[in-house]
Amino acid sequence: MMNEYIEIEMLPTACEIGGSFSTEASFCLDNFKAPFYDIEVKIDTGCSISTIPIKRLKVSDTLCKTLKKIDVMNGTPYFLSYGIESGGLRHEIPVTDDEKMECSAMKFEHGISDFMIGGVKISSDKICLNYDRKGNILIGMDILKDWDIHIGVSKVTGTSLFLACPMENGCRAYIDALEMHFGIS
């Protein structure tokens, strides 16, 4: 189903302090033949570069290692991303192919197509893949920077709500939802 904007209710944490915004995505990656459908993703405004940990897609360790080796050998562009789990420690930049294969912080830039988040078509054609981690698939600011986003408590449902629309969509339905939920016109 195609949507013009995204509307996500916040899922509270187990202790009910805070929460997160999750939805489903569908996409094709340039290094996989099969498309991926209805994959859970998290909206993360604290994430600079959107990342798909391939193991999250239930890809075997063997295939992940093979795909990483191909990317390392081909000189695929990459970023180092240590994330919250690294505790802010300094890390050595991997130089040799062996060091790169051992480095879990590498995320490689790949092509993405037929990309939809919450039923909204996404124009981004690049995303980063990490072959070592199993964490959440994060939709970050490289994609979200081109959206109009509002987060607040809905006057209709009383729940925390994430409303977002790619600015290129500029749709009336999104403006109507802003007015209905937040009184913004």
DSSP-assigned letter for residue 3: B
What digits encode the pLDDT tens for the residues 5-47?
Answer: 999 999 988 887 889 999 999 999 999 999 999 999 999 998 9
The pLDDT value given to residue 89 = 57
Share of the chain above pLDDT 70, in %: 94
Is this model's pTM higher than 0.75 or not?
A: yes
pLDDT at 91 over 80: no
pLDDT in tens, 135-181: 999 999 999 999 999 999 999 999 999 999 998 877 899 999 999 99
Write down the pLDDT at residue 84.
Answer: 56
pLDDT at 87 over 90: no
Nearest to 164 by CA among 154, 177, 155: 177
d(CA 138, CA 112): 14
Band (83; pLDDT cuts 50, 70, 90): low
Secondary structure of residue 19 in the 3-state scheme:
strand
For the stretch 43-75, pLDDT in tens is 999 899 999 999 999 999 999 999 999 999 999
The answer on pLDDT for 119 being more than 80 is: yes
138 half-sphere exposure, CB direction, 13 A CA radius:
22
